[in-house]
Every structure is written in C-alpha cells, then in structure tokens.
Amino acid sequence: MASARQVIAELAAELGLNATSASGTSYGATDGFLLQLTPTKDSQGSARITIGINYLDPSQDDRVRLALETDPGLAAGGIKPKRVTVDGGLLTHDHGPKMQTGQLTGSFNVDQLRQAVAALLGVVRRTVPVPAPGCRVCGNRTPVAPMLVNGAVDRMCPSCVSELQTAAVEAQAAYDARPIRFVPAVLAAVVVAALGAALWAGVAVATERMFWLLAIGIGGAIGVITAKAAGRGGLVVQAMAIVASVISTLAGNVAYVAYHIQKEATEEGAAVDWAAFLGAVPSILVAGGSDTLFALGGGLIGAFYAARQTGRQKIEVKVE
C-alpha cells in the first residue's frame, strides 16, 4: 500500500518538483506553470492529496472554469468537477485514494495521480498563457524561484514578501487591540446555550435518544455567535463558549426530565414545585448516571468546536 507522501515523492521526482516543505508538500514549475502536491486529510481524517496549479492570473479564472466544464479529458483522468475549485488564479483538486470494488482502499496509486495531474495541467495549458517567471505581485520580470506562501505555490520577490509580512504584523496588532465586548458576548453565549438546551431536550423527547452530532452543532453555533458578539476571539471568549457548550447539553438533559415530570403531573392532576425542582438539579444530574455522562461528553465535544471558533485569530504570512 502506497501512502500519499510516497506517491507524491515519486511523481514529484518525475516532474522535477525539487522543493519539499516540512508538511510534505512538493512544489515547483512544470511546463512554466506552478504545481504543488500536498498530502491532506478530509473531515473524517482520511488521507487525500491536493493538486494545486497556480497560473498567477485571476482574470483567467472564468476561462479556466469553462474549460473544466467542457474538457472531455477530465473523466479519463479520474477528475470529478465537484472536487475542483478555481479562485484567484489557482486551481485546486482534491484527489482521493484508489478505488477497489466501489470502495476506497486508503492507498494511493501513482499512475492515477499522474493521470489527474496531466489532465488538469492539460486544461490549464490549453486555456491560459504560460505565466512569466517574475514576481506575481509587482510584475518585476527578474526570475523568482517558486515558493509556498501560506501553503500555496507562488512567485514573489523579496520586497513584496517583506511588504506582505509587514502588513500581516500590522493587521495582527490591530486585531489584538480590539476590545472584547463582554456583555454582548455573555448574552450571546447564554441565549444560544439556552436555545441549544431546548433543541437537545426536544430531540431527546422526540426520539428518546441523544446525539453527539447535535452537540457539535450546538458548540459550533455557540462559538461562532459568541465570537461575533465579542468582536474578536481570545482565551476569555473561549472560556465563555466552552462553559456555555457544556451547560447547554446538561441543561438539555434537565429539561428532558422536567418535561416528563410535568407530563406525569398533568396526567395525575398534580402541580410541580418548580422551585424544589431547580434546587434538586444537581441530584437529578447525578441520578441521571450514564445519560448525564453522555450529555457531558457531548458538551465537551461541542466545547472543543466552540473553542476552535473563538480562538485568537492568527494573521501571518508563512513563506517556505
């Protein structure tokens, strides 16, 4: 079985992509166009390979998209249009492992990768002119070696790289200087957590089941909305979102219990002492046993996604 890195290394040697980044991306110039092969993973953690071709001219994007829609050679190269994106002068394709009896094997085939690269390069070559070997930004015609700029193969002169990095430093400083809007952030976290608890309880009542996938959605929503209300991310905002995510699912379990207590009381013609119920919430959660642990686990998973959404935004220009 060949891994993504193994087939990338083999094909890169064939194509003369002599540079390799620490992350395993092989890149360089092929037929005048900038090409990169990057080992990646999809949302399920399965290995993929991203093929990137930079033709350095965003004005050609529409022509490239049209060519991709009409080129008959893509299917022969195993290219699925939905896995190809064109933006800002850069074409990218998400290349997967080889198939066997309709199933992904998890291993890669260098011949399939070669065919995919050839098909995509062919489309670009027939559609746009070969870019000049100089700086993409300022147009300086002095040849510049291919480099990775924030993970994308590019050509930039030292002066433009320095200006870009300086702009990133200034943008980071401006971001960090923003005040955190505490009151709106707390209100947002509380409101979304309450809505999440109601949704968690509603699904539990309707299905008599709990779903961690729902907890992920609740945590993500809490994170996005809390960060937006706060004006920026950071440790304090992360703490708000994490606490709100955990409380949301646990409160959902409490609401589920409250629903059944109210239902039973209604059937018996009795009234519920809600003040006593609220005072007994800790005992209710302890008595919930595995259900409480499941909700807590879901809350922690949701908190992870909430923390990702509320972290400090990092603005940088990484050049390799």
Domains and CATH numbers, the chain: 4-155 (3.30.1460), 182-310 (no CATH)
Amino acid at 267: E
Record the tokens describing residue 258, joined without a space. 């409250």
Q: Is the per-residue pLDDT at 76 higher than 90?
A: no
C-alpha 98, offset from chain centre: 24
Q: How confident is the model at residue 134 (pLDDT cuts 50, 70, 90)?
A: very high
Query: Can you tell me the mean pLDDT for 303-312?
Result: 92
Q: How confident is the model at residue 267 (pLDDT cuts 50, 70, 90)?
A: confident
Q: Is the per-residue pLDDT at 249 higher than 80?
A: yes
Enter the pTM of the model: 0.72
Record the tokens describing residue 105, joined without a space. 């094997």
Q: How confident is the model at residue 98 (pLDDT cuts 50, 70, 90)?
A: low
pLDDT computed for residue 42 by the predictor: 81
pLDDT computed for residue 105 by the predictor: 53
pLDDT computed for residue 103 by the predictor: 45
Q: How confident is the model at residue 78 (pLDDT cuts 50, 70, 90)?
A: confident
Q: Is the per-residue pLDDT at 265 higher than 90?
A: no
Mean confidence (pLDDT) of the chain: 89
Lowest mean pLDDT among 13-22, 177-186, 214-223: 13-22
Q: Quick one: what percent of the chain has pLDDT higher than 90? A: 59
Q: Is the per-residue pLDDT at 106 higher than 70?
A: no
pLDDT digits (tens, 9 = 90+) for 62-71: 999 988 888 8
Secondary structure of the chain as H, E, C letters: CCCHHHHHHHHHHHHCCCEECCCCCEEEEECCEEEEEEEEECCCCCEEEEEEEECCCHHHHHHHHHHHHHCCHHHHCCCCHHHEEEECCEEEEEECCCEECCEECCCCCHHHHHHHHHHHHHHHHHHCCCCCCCCCCCCCCCCCCCEEECCEEECCCHHHHHHHHHHHHHHHHHHHHCCCCHHHHHHHHHHHHHHHHHHHHHHHHHHCCCCHHHHHHHHHHHHHHHHHHHCCCCHHHHHHHHHHHHHHHHHHHHHHHHHHHHHHHHHHCCCCCHHHHHHCHHHHHHHCCHHHHHHHHHHHHHHHHHHHHHCCCCCCCCEC
Pairwise pLDDT comparison (287 vs 73), residue with the higher score: 287
The residue assigned the tokens 């642990």 is: 293
Q: Is the per-residue pLDDT at 99 higher than 70?
A: no
pLDDT digits (tens, 9 = 90+) for 114-124: 999 999 999 99
Q: How confident is the model at residue 101 (pLDDT cuts 50, 70, 90)?
A: very low
pLDDT computed for residue 107 by the predictor: 82
Q: Are the C-beta atoms of residues 31 and 123 closer than 8 Å to each other?
A: no
Q: Quick one: what percent of the chain has pLDDT higher than 70? A: 96
Distances (CA, A) of 261 to 177, 210, 255, 266, 281: 50, 19, 10, 9, 13
